[in-house]
Amino acid sequence: MKKLLLITVIISIYSCATIPPEITKTHSKELEIIEALKTSHLAMVDAYIDQKILVFENFFFTEYGLLYRKNWIDSFKELNGRDYKEENDFSKLYNDLVAEYQEQILPIEKIRFDLKTSIITEYTNVIDLHKTTGSWIDNLKKLNDSQRKTIDSMLNSIKPGLSLSSIDNAVDNAKSKLKTKLENLE
């Protein structure tokens, strides 16, 4: 994700004076892709957790529930001083079993919540970074020659030889090489 944004930034830098409309369109499309990925990741978490819950429920109701019912009925007389009567006491058994189920499923649902919260947080960070990059691209469209020189000076102080012109030249060279390859393919 960060590489995608970095590529957008580098591409946008190479022609600061005139940002091609493709950059803006690509940037907008990237946001759509990020949103779609977020939706997909959240859906994958839900599908995965739902599948795991189905496995758990199968075990809980086919194996554990049967033994739980037997033990519950066996201890009923001790606790209540009378025999278990299904027509009168089933709701108590059912409520106790549901309470047990909810107690056991709660940590699984917490994991789902934590995963989804983490995914949403990270995508929110990426989207914020993407919007900041978009604002930066918009500002690059408005640079004058003096501002370009200032940026070149700052880039050169970070890494000697790095400037908007060096980026322009690198992109022009790469495009030239690709054009040559295309001509050779024809």
Read off the pTM.
Answer: 0.60
Tokens for 142? 């408005």
Q: What is the pLDDT along the chain (186 residues), one digit of tens a residue?
A: 555 454 455 545 544 445 666 777 787 888 889 999 999 999 999 999 999 999 999 999 999 999 999 999 999 989 999 999 999 999 999 999 999 999 999 999 999 999 999 999 999 999 888 888 888 777 777 777 777 778 777 777 877 777 767 777 777 788 788 878 778 876
Q: What is the pLDDT of residue 14?
A: 47
Q: Which amino acid is at 48?
A: Y
Number of independent structural domains in the chain: 1
Residue 138 forms part of a structural domain: yes
Residue 175 forms part of a structural domain: no
Residue 62 forms part of a structural domain: yes
Cα 128 from Cα 148, distance rounded (Å): 26
Residue 7 forms part of a structural domain: no
Residue 70 forms part of a structural domain: yes
Long-range contacts: 152-160, Cβ < 8 Å, 24+? Answer: none
Residue 159 backbone dihedrals phi, psi, to 5 degrees: -145, 115
Residue 10 forms part of a structural domain: no
Show the domain range for 96: 40-166
Q: What is the pLDDT of residue 172?
A: 78
Residue 77 forms part of a structural domain: yes
Q: What is the largest CA-CA distance in the chain?
A: 95
Residue 125 forms part of a structural domain: yes
Q: How far is CA 41 from CA 29, 133, 171, in A?
A: 18, 23, 34
Cα 101 from Cα 23, distance rounded (Å): 53
DSSP letter string over 88-132?
Answer: HHHHHHHHHHHHHHHHHHHHHHHHHHHHHHHHHHHHHHHHHHHHH
Q: What is the pLDDT of residue 183?
A: 81
